[in-house]
Chains A and B, each alone.
Chain A
Amino acid sequence: MTTSGVVYPYIPNSVPEVQREMLDSIGAASVDELFERIPGDVRLHGPLDLPPPLLSEAELHRCFTRILAKNATTNENISFLGGGCWNHYVPAICDEINQRSEFLTAYAGEPYEDHGRFQALFEYTSMMAELVDMDVVNVPTYDGAQAAATSIRMCSRITGRRRVLVAANVHPETQAVIRNYCHPDLSPEVVPIDPKTGCVDRAALRRAVTGETAAVYVENPSFFGTIDASTGAIAEIVRGAGALFVVGTDPSSLGLLTPPSRRGADITCGDIQPLGMHQYFGGGRGGFIATRDDPKFIREYPSRLFGIAPTAKGEWGFGDVAWERTSFADREHAKEYVGTAAALWGITAGVYLALMGPKGMRELGEGVFMRCRYLMDRMAAVPGVTLPFAATPHFKEFVVCFDGTGKTVDSINAALRDRGIFGGFRTEVTGGRECALYSVTEVLTQRDMDTCVAALRDIVA
């Protein structure tokens, strides 16, 4: 009955006898008859133009394993690539949990049948709230860039204003997402950074903020890895104009660094990739948005918020909080949307935070911070290599300028690749031509870093 005579393992009812029996029950002569409402002129005549199938699982597995073998991984090489996606270690239990059939293949079950999902995500948001020191955290949105863009729109709704300021040291891809997401009714403008420190130019910010400004968005640590000591002062400028302060942050820094909420942030947002997600070519992402327990903010979340409630028999029950966001509805009905985003990664980040605990997060923050400083010191000593913002404290990543070496980033990276090293990626920095962003995580050993520095000395010599 199937055109090819194959019984497909994924299609139990491709068995001809079963199909016959079902057709009889329907009262149809053939499966084709069921499609009779599709007119001939919109039908596809002939098979889809696809490669021949890999019918057995063995063939399929072999084919794809070979495709994947063409990739060189950050396990086999020493990687200094970062910029929003990092090679942190993923504890085995994170993968064990997110590969459980019950979580992996569930979707939109109700609190009664999918109690586990509700509890796991409530716990995730609760642990994130502790980490970022805020009261409210959403069920994850797509990624950190989306979280930033959504936070900005929330601010616009809360303040009723339409101007948005974004620091120049925000990740360029995040800036692009914000530009597109705010279009056409909000207009993001870029606030320059001080070329000496790599941090926001406060004088320029003061000039740019007006009574029309809805939100100021900065990242701390920034895309360049700089940590801004003056976040509190920036917050005062923002508040002075009646605007809201949104700070994007790297959650892996928060065991060590003071959370943005303690330094004036009204909304803290970011990406949970560092908390137990593999890099997945940039795919293992989820965005968090954190605020205080203030209905003014809570009612503007377009994401789902899970709350805890009593049950008839004294259990922990869960459900969607403020499902109907009334003020949100009043002003901008359906202004934003929720949908399938990154729930499984939220559960995973919860597992990660439970495994790490307060001590683990502190050690992680310190370990990354110290490795970063060590590698900066070693790199700065390579002839011709300069570090534009070296005097500023850094977390995880830093900009390296190769202009003094006479070499391009591309050529240096090609030579590093030959030595099994993924050098930092090319990045645009005012005043430098051949610059790259180098990144470290806790998986790098001293030897890894020394190997890289030695290779660089060799390459630029």
Chain B
Amino acid sequence: MGMDMTTKLRDFHQARWDEPIIFELTTPGERGVLVPEAPADVRRAGEKALAALPADMVRQEAPKLPEMGQMRVLKHYLRLSQENLGADLNIDIGQGTCTMKYSPKVNEILSRNSGIADIHPYQDESTVQGALEIVYELDRALRAISGMDAFSLQSGGGSQGLYAIISIIRAWVEHTGQLGRKDEIVTTIFSHPTNAAVAKLMGFRIITIYPGPDGRPDIEAFRAAVSDRTAALMITNPEDTGVYNHRIGEFTDLVHAHGGLCSYDQANLNGIIGVTRALESGFDLCFFNLHKTFSAPHGCGGPGSGVVGVRSSLRRFLPVPLVEKDEATGRYYLDYDLPNSVGKIKNFHGNIHAMLKALAWIRALGADGLREVARVAVLNNNYMFRNVLKIRGASAPYAPGEHRMEQVRYSWQTMKRETGVTTSDVQNRMFDFGVHYWTSHEPWVVPEPFTIEPTESYSKQELDEFLAITAEIAREAYETPEVVRSAPHRSTVHHIDHSYFDDEKKWAITWRMYRKKFDDYFVAK
């Protein structure tokens, strides 16, 4: 028998190397790697040209980079890595909405293959058939998963994917002669804030719907908001509350009745993959993050991939190029022939390594496996839901008695009122047990929020451990609140003085700024 994590909590301490800033490690003369020398003939041609360069074009002072032997560089970064907590190490279900799931290692091994790492985007199509096949096959799989007719895989992250969506909507408005008539986007407060941000960037007005008493977007407000000015609905479902909006068809119908488009933010598809699709809910565009549902790792915040699917009528607006297959020869090729393309969202073809990982994940699971992902993600979530609500001070607003989809937004409002302990305090204390926890983005529609999304990746035993940690912190909040308030206690560093981040005179965004402003340890010059 292993340790029973429901009764005994882990005696964790984050690694604490007290590692200097890399510039402090420099030893003049040391080398980390050597660069291939230019051969004699090359030098003869080159040195003459070098000498001919005007003096003001040649760098006079060498950049003040660190000088370190190879193993010292390795050691420095390995220590920093140990002072970081990735999904591979913790029960990463506290960052709800972000779908921190397992990124299979075999996919990492595959992505190191020279056949994907060492190919150039402008190689002749005949030499990159394997890469084009990956793009094409992923496109096909995503079509099956969404019901859409074409995908662009170019965007390098979620926000950029939403930006591609709004670019397409804008191009549609322009090319259908509706400029000046369709200038509004309708969204909801629980949809990702980037929806509104990118829509504003493209010159639209944004009308946001707040939740009704059941947590679903207030349909009467929605009816009041939609008009012939509505260019598009940008919405997510289920929203961050994990409540599924079963009237979604009425929303999309209403927008269509006013001649608008419907865009489905499915950055997180995890609770419904294989169960319901964008097509059946009446959407014209949809969007997935390959680094969420489709298992590509988050990499501390990128590289990721935000993919955009559209119905056939909108294909002509997609960024170029798309990958197509000549069925006669079986050859894959790049298709730049999209008459109203928005052009480029990102250089080249997007993040092929993320595409490879997503496709490999889909192929490892197949249709039944993907459905099982949704089933277990929802099962795990409802298991957590039941048990989190048993914890003193925790609650979950909206839709009482209903099952939730893949996540729940909870509230510590009761605990805060009764003990003064806030969700941010809980966050800092969670680190002491080696798990990650996030407080949700502003504005806080739900007070003192936290969002748990257990995905399909974590076992019941791990879920129980997470519950036990949460319950223990709640107990502390009521019995020894100082312990929570003064957390973290087992972290790499102690309380950080935040005044250094907002004061122009004190902030130091790089080491050179620090050296300019301070002597010794933060003694102002």
Contact = CB atoms under 8 A, between A and B. Distances in A.
Interface residues of B, number: 208
A313 B459 CA distance: 38
B42 interface: yes
Nearest to B106: A57
Interface string B21-51: 1110000001111111111011101111110
A310 B521 contact: yes
Interface in B310-369: 342-354, 356, 360-369
B118 A38 contact: no
23 contacts: A11-B373, A52-B366, A63-B363, A71-B127, A74-B123, A97-B78, A99-B112, A101-B88, A105-B86, A112-B428, A112-B492, A113-B431, A129-B512, A177-B343, A180-B343, A229-B57, A280-B351, A311-B496, A315-B18, A338-B159, A339-B194, A340-B303, A356-B35
A180 B202 CA distance: 10
B322 to A, nearest CB: 15
Interface in B392-441: 402-403, 427-428, 431, 436, 438
Contacts of A126: 21-23, 510-512
A428 interface: no
B449 to A, nearest CB: 15
Contact of B344 (A35, A99, A177, A284): A177
A120 B298 CA distance: 16
Contact of B403 (A28, A54, A120): A28
A339 B106 contact: no
Given A41-B280, A340-B298, A425-B122, A283 B57 contact: no
Contacts of B298: 105-108, 340
B244 interface: yes
Nearest to B332: A70
Contact of A38 (B159, B276, B347): B276
Closest 10 CB pairs of A and B: A370-B46, A282-B348, A53-B366, A68-B115, A282-B121, A339-B159, A355-B32, A344-B299, A70-B130, A317-B496
Contacts of B22: 123, 126-127, 350, 354
Contacts of B243: 37
Contacts of A324: 502
Interface residues of A, number: 212
A85 B119 CA distance: 10
B266 to A, nearest CB: 13
Interface string B1-23: 00000000000001000111111
A367 B120 contact: no
Contact of A135 (B194, B402, B510): B510
A312 B92 CA distance: 28
Interface in A3-21: 3-4, 6, 8, 10-14, 18-19, 21
A257 B369 CA distance: 54
Nearest to A2: B372
Contacts of B513: 129, 135-136, 293
Nearest to B439: A110
A340 B305 CA distance: 9
Overall SS of chain A's interface = mixed
A102 B157 contact: no
B444 interface: no
A176 B386 contact: no
Given A4-B369, A104-B86, A369-B50, 6 more contacts: A31-B375, A106-B299, A136-B513, A257-B57, A284-B353, A341-B304
B507 to A, nearest CB: 5
Given A227-B57, A310-B497, A177 B345 contact: yes
B178 to A, nearest CB: 14
B134 interface: yes
Interface stretch (B68-76, B254-262, B473-481): B68-76
Interface string B264-304: 00000000101111001100000001010001011111111
Contact of A283 (B276, B350, B436, B507): B350
A354 B504 contact: no
Interface string A167-194: 0000101101101100111000000000
A317 B497 contact: yes
A419 interface: no
B21 A119 contact: yes
A72 B113 CA distance: 12
Interface in A40-98: 41-44, 47-55, 57, 60-61, 63-65, 67-75, 77, 79, 81, 83-85, 87, 89, 91, 93, 95-98
A143 interface: yes
B501 to A, nearest CB: 5
Given A38-B272, A106-B300, A335-B201, A11 B87 contact: no
B280 A44 contact: yes
B31 A359 contact: yes
Given A107-B300, A137-B510, A255-B63, A123 B370 contact: no
A180 B246 contact: no
A50 B57 CA distance: 57
A163 interface: no
A371 interface: yes
B453 to A, nearest CB: 12
B47 A104 contact: no
B196 interface: yes
B154 to A, nearest CB: 10
B299 A103 contact: yes
A308 B493 contact: no
Contacts of B20: 316
B497 A353 contact: no
B300 A4 contact: no
B98 interface: yes
A135 B38 contact: no
Contacts of B368: 2-4, 6, 47, 53
Contacts of B349: 281-283
A414 B123 CA distance: 11
B194 A370 contact: no
Contacts of A371: 38, 42, 46
A459 interface: no
A50 B122 contact: no
Interface string A423-452: 001000000000000000011011001000
A454 interface: no
B263 interface: no
Contacts of B60: 258
B299 A343 contact: yes
Nearest to B80: A116
Nearest to B303: A342
Contacts of A218: none
A223 to B, nearest CB: 12
A367 B36 CA distance: 8
